[in-house]
Structure 1
Amino acid sequence: MTDVVRRHAEAEYATELALLAAGDDRPKPPGWKLSPQAVVTYLLGDGDVITPKYIGPRRLMEVAVATLATDRALLLLGVPGTAKTWVSEHLAAAISGDSTLMVQGTAGTPEEAIRYGWNYARLLAEGPTRAALVDSPVMKAMAGGGIARVEELTRIPSDVQDSLITVLSEKVLPIPELGQEVAARKGFNVIATANDRDRGVNELSSALRRRFNTVVLPVPADAEQEIDIVSRRVADLGRALELPDLPPAYEEIRRVVTVFRELRAGVTEDGRTRLKSPSGTMSTAEAISVLVNGVVLATHFGDGVLRAGDVAAGIVGAVVKDPVSDAVVWQEYLETVVRERDGWRDFYRAARSGE
């Protein structure tokens, strides 16, 4: 389908996955579509036809992929906006060809989302039968030898989290009502993500944590890397939204990234001025959102050129989450840093007028 807002990774990048599979003569773990080396190439790109999905340390991706070739599950941990969900989706797409077997973790996620549920109409009519059973994404992944994704694991109540222990340790899912079990086929594994700002919400039990290998995804190492990430994602989203190509806006992208990095770090780029940090995360994902919103403004309400006024309002909304404390942080940043910075006068005026 070409008219959907967002296609799954295995559909969006089907051509790249097919090219990699066609030239992949390295050993593959049982049940994998690609070899581990080809999966890493898919994630990081080859500098030619394979576009990078993740920009960051290669070794992290190698460890993540190697983990999924063992009997341990993978936990991607990091602050918000470090591409945990994005990496999880692309790992599942490259390894099993299906990134849709996902459990979305929330405070209300029930055990049935991880184990199985029942079609109660059939249950009442037929009693407990296999036909009345509703497979969870984890059960489907086990039966098909695929990758199950569990998003925001630490948002799930602890007793529900622990329903994963038997699945990860014994590689079976008992169905006591039927006197049966589902055994995992080769290729099955689990990728979970967790936001380290949620520590203390629903901590993983030590028994469950032992069954995961944790890979911490860092924030971009430097401004140039973050600018590259933001530029690529803004371009991708612009195409998905069918926005017209705008003239290059490198300076506005650099400006947004600079603001986010300085407020996130609590210090200016030159290290001379200490800053207060806002209550929000100031993540790379939010910077991308601000710029995409700016592109839409420039397209539909401007002259087709991304300018300071198109991104200033979005930045104010990203920074000022708490209207009291964050407003003070933003005001101080504008007056002590932005106002005095060469070439930023237009941004200063736009940000002030949007307050």
Structure 2
Amino acid sequence: MGENDRDVLRPHAEVQYADELAALAEHDDRERPPNWRLSPWAVVEYLMGGTLPDGTVIAPKYVGKRRLIEVAVATLATDRALLLLGVPGTAKTWVSEHLAAAISGDSTQLVQGTAGTTEETLRYGWNYARLLAEGPTEAALVPSPIYRSMQAGAIARVEELTRMPSDVQDALVTALSEKSMPIPELDTEVLATRGFNVIATANDRDRGVNDLSAALRRRFNTVVLPLPDTADEEIAIVAQRVNELGTALALPPVPSSADEIRRVVTVFRELRDGQTADGGTSLKVPSGTLSTAEAISVVTNGLSLAAHFGSGQLSADDVAAGVVGAVVRDPTHDGVAWREYLESVVAHRDGWGDFYDACRALG
């Protein structure tokens, strides 16, 4: 990472983990698909983590079932595009970025899907000053990330695919099925270079908003990224990402925060599941997702409070406000669910008195 990169708040994956990618490439003697920087095996190793023969440690980027990542990588080596599906906060965007970084060395060919995304965003647009002056020419054309990836034989990323209107989504069909992009204004087309593929992400919560057409769905192989199976797995994910974010944000160092991370994860998992960890008490489920990503945000904010305004050590006071804010999105429904949880579970749990008091103090 260069001097200028150290001032970047969030470097792209291929920059932040350049040393790991270079080490993997050096030791990677397996067959690589056309235009791939690494073999499929090395891409999975980069995502899942491991130790190379020379002792280089590859940090895990995804904590979960290895088979899911193997299926995702194998899909990208075929003519099928990849759809990463799951509830918010299951690392879909994170996995998408790291897959593109490892395969193409470039994770920046990105289309962000919204209700306002147009077909031109997926295909190409025009520099209208040049268009008026010169008419439709190649120089006046403004390529989309999909267009550029097709030319380069690289991975393109489409975030929140189902947020786009259905007719806009279908602009992908020709690119994914025919591996070409017609440009009728120039009476020509772009033909995809070998290595081109697309990774799209979509949230389970968006089903029914703009469902994929049957034609588009057939062009994708879907991999569902689940929430972490166990509390320990989720705690490990939160601890790792909080540590990385703390370093990136230059937060003052805070002593071990394992106890508070476990507490935040426990609260989120119990309310998400609608029962306590021992299965002994049924709970009302709040309207929010209470995802791993939100747990990371709560703990990171708590570390900032502890470092700048607290004792220097993460405490219940530092995480309480973040937990309450994450749980109580709808004051009516969520407020009832939270108060019942606080009084029936937290108040009677050994060692949680400080957290109970901190939450009660927030009103």
Partner residue, 1:136: 144
Tell me the distance in 2 between the aligned counterparts of 1:314 and 1:353. 13
Other structure's SS at 1:339 match? helix
* Over 2 Å off, 4+ runs: none
Q: Is 2:190 the counterpart of 1:185?
A: no
Tell me the distance in 2 between the aligned counterparts of 1:324 and 1:273. 22
Q: 2:50 aligns with which of 41, 46, 52?
A: 46
Partner residue, 2:154: 146
Q: Is 2:349 the counterpart of 1:341?
A: yes
After superposition, residues 194-273 of structure 1 pair within 5 angstroms as: 194-273=202-281
Tell me the distance in 2 between the aligned counterparts of 1:325 and 1:271. 22
Shift of residue 151 of structure 1? 0.2
Tell me the distance in 2 between the aligned counterparts of 1:181 and 1:14. 35
Tell me the distance in 2 between the aligned counterparts of 1:253 and 1:351. 16
Whether the aligned pair in 1 keeps the contact of 2:118 and 2:168 (CA below 8 Å) is: yes
Partner residue, 2:22: 18
Shift of residue 245 of structure 1? 2.0
- Matched residues, number: 355
Q: For 1:164, give the aligned amino acid.
A: L
Q: Is 2:174 the counterpart of 1:166?
A: yes
Partner residue, 1:309: 317
Shift of residue 243 of structure 1? 1.1
Shift of residue 323 of structure 1? 1.1
Other structure's SS at 2:50 match? coil
Tell me the distance in 1 between the aligned counterparts of 2:362 and 2:153. 52
Gaps of 5+ in 1: none
Gaps of 5+ in 2: none
Tell me the distance in 2 between the aligned counterparts of 1:109 and 1:52. 33
Tell me the distance in 2 between the aligned counterparts of 1:251 and 1:227. 10
Partner residue, 2:9: 5
Shift of residue 4 of structure 1? 1.2
Other structure's SS at 2:223 match? strand
Whether the aligned pair in 1 keeps the contact of 2:253 and 2:307 (CA below 8 Å) is: no
Other structure's SS at 2:14 match? helix
Q: For 2:29, give the aligned amino acid.
A: D
Partner residue, 1:329: 337
Partner residue, 2:289: 281
Other structure's SS at 2:57 match? coil
Tell me the distance in 2 between the aligned counterparts of 1:32 and 1:305. 45
Partner residue, 1:111: 119
Other structure's SS at 2:6 match? coil
Tell me the distance in 2 between the aligned counterparts of 1:245 and 1:227. 19
Q: For 1:53, give the aligned amino acid.
A: K
Shift of residue 244 of structure 1? 2.1
Tell me the distance in 2 between the aligned counterparts of 1:343 and 1:4. 40
Other structure's SS at 1:213 match? strand
Whether the aligned pair in 1 keeps the contact of 2:86 and 2:204 (CA below 8 Å) is: yes
Tell me the distance in 1 between the aligned counterparts of 2:93 and 2:258. 26
Other structure's SS at 2:201 match? strand
Tell me the distance in 2 between the aligned counterparts of 1:158 and 1:328. 38
Tell me the distance in 1 between the aligned counterparts of 2:322 and 2:271. 15
Tell me the distance in 1 between the aligned counterparts of 2:325 and 2:288. 10
Other structure's SS at 2:63 match? coil
Tell me the distance in 2 between the aligned counterparts of 1:91 and 1:229. 18
Shift of residue 2 of structure 1? 1.5
Q: What percent of counterpart residues are identical? A: 72
Tell me the distance in 2 between the aligned counterparts of 1:279 and 1:71. 39
Tell me the distance in 2 between the aligned counterparts of 1:180 and 1:352. 67
Q: 1:37 aligns with which of 30, 36, 41?
A: 41
Tell me the distance in 2 between the aligned counterparts of 1:126 and 1:35. 45
Whether the aligned pair in 1 keeps the contact of 2:87 and 2:204 (CA below 8 Å) is: yes
